[in-house]
Amino acid sequence: MKGKFAAALLLLAGAVAAAAVAVALRDPAGQRAAGPVVAPSERGTTGELVVYRSPSCGCCGEWLAYVQRHGFQVRDVVVDDLAAVKRELGVPEAVWSCHTAVLGGAVIEGHVPVEAIRAFATAPLPGAAGIAVPGMPAGSPGMTGGLAGPLQVVAFGAAGVEPFMTLERFAP
């Protein structure tokens, strides 16, 4: 009997955790709809960059304009709980930034230059779920200020976080 009770508690805990992950998303008209953090239809197609961001971040808008200037079609998704999106997409906290994007199933975290996005889309590292520029480095795409040194882009996935590419310069 103890085993059945423990199993029932685990199932209940799983259901509660799944319910807690659900947050309200805003559609382009600003209306809210209940559902999973990142609905399958929101994960993007090969040519569309779906960007999740907080409504209050200005540099996210600058990064959106940057990737659009470089030919990416962007869908801007404003969310109230960006941390839940990052967790659902498997972004390690060590590389979190202010916005998270998905391109054809690959996760792009933070102020990643278009050169790195294209390189990862063309030749992703085996087992990597995505790439990131951790934090919000000054001078990176969408951020003001001068770059203090080479920009480090990392890959992340089941194997953890590893270097992907280092950029001395990138397209403005």
Crossing angle of helices 114-122 and 58-69, rounded to 10°: 60
Q: Is there a contact between 96 and 109 (Cβ–Cβ < 8 Å)?
A: yes
Residue 23: its pLDDT value, please?
A: 29
Q: Is there a contact between 136 and 97 (Cβ–Cβ < 8 Å)?
A: yes
Q: What are the residue boundaries of the structural domains of the chain, listed by start?
A: 37-167
Q: What is the DSSP letter of 123?
A: S
Q: Please, is 2 exposed, middle or buried when counting C-beta atoms within 10 Å of its C-beta (0-12, 13-18, 19+)?
A: exposed
CATH fold of 37-167: Glutaredoxin (3.40.30)
Residue 1: its pLDDT value, please?
A: 42
Q: What is the pTM of this model?
A: 0.74
Strand partners, 78: 53
Stated as kind and residue range, the H or E segment containing 157 is: strand 151-157
Exposed e or buried b for every residue in 45-69, given b needs 16+ CB within 10 A? eeebbbbbbeeebebbeebbebbee
How far does Cα 92 stand from its chain's mean position? 10
Q: Is there a contact between 89 and 100 (Cβ–Cβ < 8 Å)?
A: yes
Strand partners, 155: 131, 162
pLDDT tens per residue, the chain (172 residues)? Answer: 444 333 333 333 333 232 222 223 333 333 333 334 554 444 444 579 999 999 888 888 899 999 999 999 999 999 999 999 999 999 999 999 999 999 999 999 999 999 999 999 999 999 999 999 999 999 999 899 988 899 999 999 998 999 999 999 988 8
